[in-house]
Amino acid sequence: MFLRRIINFRFYLNINQLGNNIPKQTLINNRFTTLVKTVLKPKFITSLYPIYLFTRLSAAKIKMAEEQNLENLLQNADQLFDENHFQENIDLLSKYSDQDVPEIQWRKARAMYSLSKATKDAKEKEQYVRQSFELVSAALQKDDNNFAIHKWYSIILDANAGLDGLKARITQLENVKKHMLKAVELNPNDPTSWHILGVFEFNLAELPWIQRKIVSAIFASPPTGTYEKALEFFEKAESLKEGFYTTNWLMLGKSFMALNNMEKAKVYIEKAANCQVLNEDDKNCKEEACKLMKKF
């Protein structure tokens, strides 16, 4: 039936265009539009609608499944990280089909950085730090509104710059602080971000004389830090989640010591000295705290 209508349509054009002043192309366009409206739309196009609808629904289901799959994978990866299974964390994240997803990239960077702290091999440590910095930098380019990306970019930026020497590390001080402040702005309830800000303030406060000279030579207005501000940040972190990080106890104790409040300092140093060792940070924290206990 459809082919018959097409043939009749062509015959109609051949007969009616004779002696007609209407341009041939205009006549064809008008008649073909009429044909589409009367033949194609109600019969052909309508018959395709179920296929179109099925395709749209299938695509939506696939997308939903992928999102659910990613969500489950990220939850499992976070659990592995919390349990200090860093290599397993990386292996799991590497199984996801799209390795350019920011949520994948910053988590892999976090795990690689953690591995860098655990190894004693200098070359391996540098490799982990460099790779983690590439990943977290790529994640930041894609997503500038993720607090975790800014937090880990700040941490890894400092470590990466440290590989290039003291001057390079000092040069990045403002960037390190800027991204950690952004992390706090995006999520003020994350205790780790406040802890890192405290470390930043504390390290600036106790900066050796020679390093202060380097800082002054690099910056017109050198960044400064105080023990009071560092203590404020460490206390803020502890108030958000008590005992979230053994090193926060250590830094609270060291801040109180620097401010000559030995009574409060002892409370936190004792906690740090008696902490359970689950990872490299806990080990280093416990060792330093045990040495400091001898001063009480």
pLDDT 10s digits, 94-104: 999 889 999 99
pLDDT value of residue 198: 96
pLDDT value of residue 5: 46
pLDDT value of residue 7: 41
Residues contacting 58, CB < 8 A, separation 6+: none
Q: What is the pTM of this model?
A: 0.74
Q: Where do the structural domains in the chain lie, given as residue ranges?
A: 90-188
Which residue is associated with the tokens 């190894």? 119
CB 193 within 8 A of CB 187: yes
pLDDT value of residue 13: 44
pLDDT value of residue 163: 95
pLDDT value of residue 214: 77
CATH architecture of the domain with range 90-188: Alpha Horseshoe (1.25)
- As to burial, measured by CB atoms within 10 angstroms (0-12 exposed, 13-18 middle, 19+ buried), residue 76 is middle
Neighbours of 10 (CB within 10 A): 10
pLDDT value of residue 224: 81
Mean pLDDT, 10 residues at a time, the chain of 296 residues:
44 42 50 50 57 55 60 94 95 92 97 94 96 97 97 97 90 92 97 96 88 77 87 97 96 97 96 94 95 93
CB 268 within 8 A of CB 252: yes
CB 223 within 8 A of CB 177: yes
Neighbours of 4 (CB within 10 A): 8
Per-residue buried b or exposed e for 17-41, using 16+ beta carbons within 10 Å of the residue's own CB: eeeeeeeeeeeeeeeeeebeeebee
CB 241 within 8 A of CB 199: no
Per-residue buried b or exposed e for 96-123, using 16+ beta carbons within 10 Å of the residue's own CB: beeeebbbbbbbbbbbbbbbbebeeeee
pLDDT value of residue 180: 96
